[in-house]
Amino acid sequence: MSNKNIYLVAFYSMKPRPGVKTNVKGWMNDPANITYDETIEISRGLKKNSANAKVVLNMSNRSVDRNTWGTERSFDEYFKYFFKGWHQYLTAVMTQLDAEYFNKMLDEMQAELDAEKEETTEAAAE
């Protein structure tokens, strides 16, 4: 039986930050010298290359299937993170899969933005 679930699969590649002298021994030991490129795929079922992914989200079941970053994050936290950079793709998928959940998440993200703006305004007024 084939897997018909929709997945968000995130890949990360590591590269030196601009201006870092890579000819200096031990340059990779300092995390400040490294930056990551993020690539995502949204697919029906998992592909062979998904085994190399750092993060795999099951959008159909709203679950985190793989997280190799070593941090505990919920599906909601990952959804908010990926929505910031990839909103056009997540909007298209989630409005078809679960519009009610998507609207709930939009409301939560808007409330967080409003609270952030309020804190910034209060800090500037002091």
Question: For residues 77 and 90, is the Cβ–Cβ distance under 8 A?
Answer: no
pLDDT per residue rounded down to tens, the chain (126 residues): 457 899 999 999 999 999 998 898 999 898 899 999 999 999 999 999 899 999 999 999 999 999 998 888 999 999 999 999 999 999 999 999 999 999 999 999 999 988 888 887 777 776
Beta-strand relationship, 34-44 and 6-16: antiparallel
pLDDT score recorded for residue 44 = 93
Which residue has tokens 């409003």? 114
CA 124 – CA 20 distance, rounded (Å): 36
What pLDDT, on the 0 to 100 scale, is given for residue 123? 74
Find the radius of gyration of the CA atoms of the chain.
Answer: 18
